[in-house]
Amino acid sequence: MTHAPKTQELQLSDIPTLRQRGRQHAEKGAVTPSYAADRGTVLRLLNEALATELVCVLRYRRHYYMVDGLRGEAIKDEFMAHSLEEQGHADELAQRIVQLDGAPNFDPKGLAERSHAEYVECGTVDQMILENLVAERIAIESYKEMIAYIGARDPTTRRLLESILAKEEEHADDLSTMLRKTAPVAAQRVDLPVRAAG
């Protein structure tokens, strides 16, 4: 006969204890005594994510303005939509950094070095789509690692990163579809399955 392992029962604090903990270090805002993550590491990760989002905004904007031609209007619209969403991510990350009693790093000096994704200008529409797709894939991997690192120690930051991750995955899907339609040979070079039209 095997017995299931006992699970540790969560102990809930009584009201006076909650009130007392809420008053301790009130100047720290959202960072309460029960905050379990390494705040310094979380702030570094969030500032790296912020830099990545800002670089993506700049790259998408440049590509938006550089696309021309008849087939380019839909692609331009997609680049601008992605740019606006990446700016929204940057704003959310900056707000979370402040909530954690940190300072968002918007300094242009070193922005490209802090970013996980690269800023690549590109000469053709196909290259632009590919480079944006690569950047989204880098962001996806980066956010997955951050989420795994943070785990249950900072649920608010984890949920924020999960929501951004979902949008980055959507962007990657949009771009891979676009790449398959505009440049099936380039899509094969990056191991994207070529889907049948229809």
Q: Is the pLDDT of residue 42 over 90?
A: yes
> Tens digit of pLDDT for each residue in 5-28?
555 677 888 888 877 877 777 777
Q: How far apart are CA 52 and CA 119, in angstroms?
A: 9
User: If you count them, how many residues does the chain have?
Assistant: 198
Q: How confident is the model at residue 115 (pLDDT cuts 50, 70, 90)?
A: very high
* Residue 118: other Cβ atoms inside 10 A: 13
Token readout for 106 is: 């918007």
Q: How far apart are CA 195 and CA 54, in angstroms?
A: 32
Domains of the chain, CATH where assigned:
37-189 (1.20.1260.10)
The secondary structure of 44-77 as a DSSP string is HHHHHHHHHHHHHHHHHHHHHHH--STTHHHHHH
Return the pLDDT at 14.
82
Structural contact between residues 115 and 52, judged by C-beta atoms closer than 8 angstroms: yes
82 CA to centre of own chain = 12
Q: Is the pLDDT of residue 193 over 50?
A: no
Return the pLDDT at 123.
87
DSSP state of 124: S
Among residues 52, 68, 177, the alpha carbon closest in space to that of 116 is found at: 52
Return the pLDDT at 12.
82
Structural contact between residues 136 and 40, judged by C-beta atoms closer than 8 angstroms: no
Q: Is the pLDDT of residue 187 over 50?
A: no
